[in-house]
Chains A and B, each alone.
Chain A
Amino acid sequence: MRKKWMSSFLTLALSTVLVLSGCSSNEEAGNSPAPAEGTDPPTETAAQDTMIMGRGGDSVALDPAIVTDGESLKIGHQVFDSLLDYKEGETEVVPGLAESWEISADGLKYTFKLKSGVKFHDGTDFNAEAVVFNFNRWSDPASEYKFEGDSFDYYDSMFGPEDGRVIKEVKAIDETTVEFTLNQPQAPFLQNIAMTPFGIASPTAIQEKKENFKSEPVGTGPFVFVEWKRNDSITLEKNPNYWKEGLPKLNKVIVRSIPDNTARFNALQNGEIDVMEDLNPDDLSILEGNSELQKIERPPFNVAYIGFNFKKKPFDDVKVRQALNHAVNKQGIIDAFFAGQAQPAVNPMPPTLWGYNDAIEDYPYDLEKAKALLAEAGFPDGLPDPVTFYAMPVSRPYMPDGKKVAEAIQADFEKIGVTVNIESPEWATYLDDAKAGEKDDLYMLGWTGDNGDPDNFLYTLLDKDAIPGNNRSFYVNEELHVLLTDAQKETDQDKRAELYKQAQVIIKEDAPWIPLVHTTPILAGKANLKGFVPSPLGSESYANAYFE
């Protein structure tokens, strides 16, 4: 009996829903002449004080010291200040929490004078002790504030691993003076100190929140962390006590994760977000045709390249590498796949970086010359075996579509008698394989600079010390190694620049790579958004942004 009642009830309920659905659709068709209210408005009338930023991925953690991914550092840059900062839109070092600094003659002592009166978001004072606390936390492997699973990778890679730390000691001289003693001189020390991973966190907050600190960050930065909805949005509010007069100009910043580039652009056009990163090159013409939107260019500070695997024959032969360098039509690739938003790369570092050697000429696109060089290397009919070319399966700011670019190069290589098999294994496998160097003959990769120092390109990617690791070409040149390590110890920037220029000459001659392009990543924003200056390093402060 009860079951029968239930079945009748369910049937009735279902049919009611069915009938209602019919009615409601009629109703809606009948009286919806105006656009529905409540949708995010396409345009704002009053001056807006909230900026919604759309980006491709979420942060991994909000404590910038424990992360290495760019998305996490972007938030870190809003919540934290470092001792030093980079000039807006550039890579030059300027004062941050430290007003001034002195360097001893031997380059081993750095004394920083700190700003006074600065407070962390939790109301505690920023002072020399706080700086000491942070640096000790990062350098001491047994620190009680190094929580389970955490590692301070940027600290280790910039200031040396546990057994070879660059920083010997950090000492508080008085409330506003802090002294760094180094074990050995490090030329890019100031550039490094300015990086977001070395943002100064509130010691009190770390002590109280412990492992929760990575999702509830407290710094001195222009914006205060409010809420993190994972994979959805991060909400930040204005720091009313910010030490830079009149900043930030916005009251609130919401950073949303919208993985698909096209969907993100749709959301911008619909007014749901105010500014977005990583525009598809294909959407550039729509952006330029829309007067309510503006194009924002991030200064190029990256390099995309094809690396030769020196472990594989015949790529250990410089003639072969030079031949293939002649066979890539960089301008053609830029026109076809980058919507013109890139420039051909000659050297392994971008021309905007100091120490760039602009006297070096690229191997011109010349198939005859390529064939001649191959013949000299003993391959008059081209290479006998097909070449395995690893093409990136993921999109990166320096390489939006690796497979298409690889196909274009494949066609050119075919013309000089080099048969190419393109392979694109899944990203983790790709990186592994390239690092092991057993499967690939050629591989495609790229790099975005971390700190505005040539060392971060040349030594990091091409020195013999970077094997195994980022030197996936297994390229070893002792002369280059001496130059690059000397440059690390040299404190005179002009002399360093000279060393890097020499290094680039050697690299060009050895041709371990085919440098492809330096791209200009494109952001798009509402036309009335002002003061948004993208940093070449990938993460910028939103403190100066405002709406007109």
Chain B
Amino acid sequence: MNSYIVKRILVLLPVLLGMTLIVFSIIHAIPGDPAETILGQKATEQSKQALRDQLGLDKPWFHQYFAYLGDLLQGDLGTSIRTKVPIAQEIVPYLTATLELTMASMLFAVIIGVNAGIVSAWKHNSWFDYCCMVIALVGVSMPIFWLGLMEQWLFANKLHWLPSIGRMNARDPVEAITGLYVLDTMIAGRWDQLWTVTKHLILPSVALGTIPMAVIARMTRSSMLEVMSSDYIRTAKAKGLGPFFVVYGHALKNAFIPVLTVIGIQTGSLLGGAVLTETIFAWPGVGRYIYEAISSRDYPVIQSGILIVAFFFVLINLIVDLLYAVFDPRISYK
């Protein structure tokens, strides 16, 4: 298994290298003068020229690419043009914010999605099944923007149950230790803050997790339907096992592999695709970091930001692949 992991990691290298090349080429194909965008309308022509010189923007793109790659190999992600802060240092809080949000969203999506899928498959063609599938269909097609604003309006403005923006109560700020606030408040033993932080997570995670939830529910349902009709389930039923053990003890394990794939892909896409949610809920995450870099032509941030998201995406895929083997030992490592 160890050699498998090593091989898998080695495969990642050309993937990441290809990624740098693609991102770099696309960014440099965008028209417009980055110096103007970065420095703003009120900047002088001189300082714009100075910036162009400093960034090597006047040099051919492959020159810039190899310079970037060289820095990257030394662990230097570059410096943000806009804020002039090293990206490796700047990106960490954004990344942890997004990780926390993504994990909460996936927890929501997996718990609701898998359960709904199981029950739908179990009560196949019942009213519950139909309802779930209609909800799943609506969930997939729901615009995140609209859903987020509606959540805020209802749960924050009208009912005052939940906070509408940010990661914590600004009047009682959380001390960042790991950057994952749920964890940080526990480490600090601040249970009241843990509760507040958790509540801040609810609305954005539901907004972000709705689409994966719907996708997971549909996948679980179809996968379960297939497994439930197989011989060993019939045997298990014949042995007199209760429906709970049949479903969760026997069927789910085998039905879970395609679901796992979907979970992996969805998690990856959430990492980079959380821009809308992060905008509406003022969540200081990596999606917004990259988005703002794009609108201000902050090349180094766009490149490194996308690269890091891609890296996590690939990492999640790796984890999913390894989990396959755990769920189904027949999957070989060749």
Stretch at the interface among B10-18, B128-136, B278-286: B278-286
CB-CB contacts below 8 Å: A244-273 with B = 254, 256-260, 262-264, 266-267, 269-270, 272-273
Residues of A within 8 A of B148 (CB): 263
> By the criterion CB–CB under 8 Å, are A39 and B160 in contact?
yes
Residues of B within 8 A of A258 (CB): 165-166, 282
> By the criterion CB–CB under 8 Å, are A7 and B83 in contact?
no
Q: Bound state CA distance, A157 and B199, in angstroms? A: 48
> By the criterion CB–CB under 8 Å, are B196 and A38 in contact?
yes
> By the criterion CB–CB under 8 Å, are B93 and A263 in contact?
no
Residue in A60, A150, A154, A267 whose beta carbon sits within 8 Å of that of B282 in the complex: A267
Known A-B contacts A211-B84, A270-B156; the reply to A231 vs B292 at CB < 8 A is: yes
Residue in A153, A264, A428 whose beta carbon sits within 8 Å of that of B47 in the complex: A153
B141 at the interface (CB under 8 A from A): no
Q: Bound state CA distance, A52 and B43, in angstroms? A: 30
> By the criterion CB–CB under 8 Å, are B90 and A230 in contact?
yes
Query: Scoring B residues 87 to 105 as 1 if CB is less than 8 Å from chain A, else 0, what string do you get?
Result: 0001001100000000000
Residue in B44, B114, B252, B297 whose beta carbon sits within 8 Å of that of A153 in the complex: B44
> By the criterion CB–CB under 8 Å, are A266 and B167 in contact?
no
Q: Bound state CA distance, A227 and B51, in angstroms? A: 29
> By the criterion CB–CB under 8 Å, are A272 and B164 in contact?
yes
Residues of A within 8 A of B32 (CB): 426, 428-429, 431-432
Question: For residue A35, which residue of chain B has the nearest CB?
Answer: B160
Q: Bound state CA distance, A428 and B295, in angstroms? A: 8
Stretch at the interface among A13-21, A336-344, A369-377, A510-518: A13-21
> By the criterion CB–CB under 8 Å, are B284 and A229 in contact?
yes
Query: Scoring A residues 1 to 39 as 1 if CB is less than 8 Å from chain B, else 0, what string do you get?
Result: 001101100110011011001100000000000011111
B152 at the interface (CB under 8 A from A): yes
Rounded to whole Å, the gap between the CB of A258 and the closest CB of chain B is 4
Question: For residue A15, which residue of chain B has the nearest CB?
Answer: B248
Known A-B contacts A60-B82, A428-B34; the reply to A22 vs B282 at CB < 8 A is: no
Known A-B contacts A4-B329, A154-B42; the reply to A263 vs B199 at CB < 8 A is: no
> By the criterion CB–CB under 8 Å, are B36 and A260 in contact?
no
Rounded to whole Å, the gap between the CB of A451 and the closest CB of chain B is 11
Q: Bound state CA distance, A52 and B297, in angstroms? A: 30
B178 at the interface (CB under 8 A from A): no
> By the criterion CB–CB under 8 Å, are A153 and B192 in contact?
no
A162 at the interface (CB under 8 A from B): yes
CB-CB contacts below 8 Å: A415-436 with B = 426-429, 431-432, 435
Rounded to whole Å, the gap between the CB of A513 and the closest CB of chain B is 16
> By the criterion CB–CB under 8 Å, are B46 and A259 in contact?
no
Residues of B within 8 A of A358 (CB): none
Q: How many residues of B contact A (CB 8 A)?
A: 76
> By the criterion CB–CB under 8 Å, are B40 and A69 in contact?
yes
Query: Scoring A residues 465 to 505 as 1 if CB is less than 8 Å from chain B, else 0, what string do you get?
Result: 00011100000000000000000000000000000000000
Rounded to whole Å, the gap between the CB of B63 and the closest CB of chain A is 20
Q: Bound state CA distance, A48 and B152, in angstroms? A: 25
> By the criterion CB–CB under 8 Å, are B170 and A161 in contact?
no
Residue in A153, A264, A432 whose beta carbon sits within 8 Å of that of B33 in the complex: A432
A169 at the interface (CB under 8 A from B): no
Rounded to whole Å, the gap between the CB of A54 and the closest CB of chain B is 8
Query: Scoring B residues 299 to 319 as 1 if CB is less than 8 Å from chain A, else 0, what string do you get?
Result: 000000000000000000000
Residues of B within 8 A of A266 (CB): 149, 152-153, 156-157, 164-165
Residues of B within 8 A of A50 (CB): 171
> By the criterion CB–CB under 8 Å, are A3 and B37 in contact?
no
> By the criterion CB–CB under 8 Å, are A432 and B31 in contact?
yes
Residues of A within 8 A of B79 (CB): 149
Residue in B41, B115, B323 whose beta carbon sits within 8 Å of that of A18 in the complex: B115
Q: Bound state CA distance, A36 and B159, in angstroms? A: 10
Residues of B within 8 A of A264 (CB): 165, 282
A191 at the interface (CB under 8 A from B): no
Query: Scoring A residues 46 to 84 as 1 if CB is less than 8 Å from chain B, else 0, what string do you get?
Result: 000010100001101100000011000000000000000
Q: Bound state CA distance, A22 and B43, in angstroms? A: 58
Question: For residue B194, which residue of chain A has the nearest CB?
Answer: A38
Question: For residue B288, which residue of chain A has the nearest CB?
Answer: A231
Q: Bound state CA distance, A263 and B288, in angstroms? A: 15
A214 at the interface (CB under 8 A from B): yes
- Among all A-B residue pairs, the 7 with the closest Cβ atoms: A428-B32, A428-B37, A151-B47, A232-B284, A231-B284, A258-B282, A429-B32
16 A-B residue pairings within 8 Å (CB atoms): A7-B253, A21-B115, A40-B163, A40-B170, A162-B46, A229-B284, A230-B90, A230-B284, A231-B284, A232-B167, A256-B282, A263-B280, A267-B165, A270-B156, A428-B32, A469-B45
List B residues at the A interface (Cβ < 8 Å).
30-34, 36-37, 39-47, 50-51, 54, 79, 81-85, 90, 93-94, 111-112, 114-115, 118, 148-149, 152-153, 156-157, 159-167, 169-171, 173, 192, 195-196, 199, 248-249, 252-253, 256, 279-282, 284, 288-289, 292, 295, 297, 323, 325-327, 329
Other A-B pairs beyond A256-B282, A263-B152, A432-B32, 19, CB < 8 Å = A11-B256, A15-B252, A18-B118, A21-B115, A38-B192, A38-B195, A38-B196, A40-B163, A60-B83, A156-B46, A214-B84, A227-B173, A231-B288, A231-B289, A257-B284, A258-B166, A267-B152, A272-B156, A431-B36
List A residues at the B interface (Cβ < 8 Å).
3-4, 6-7, 10-11, 14-15, 17-18, 21-22, 35-40, 42, 50, 52, 57-58, 60-61, 68-69, 147-151, 153-154, 156-157, 161-162, 211, 214-215, 227, 229-233, 235, 254, 256-260, 262-264, 266-267, 269-270, 272-273, 426-429, 431-432, 435, 450, 468-470
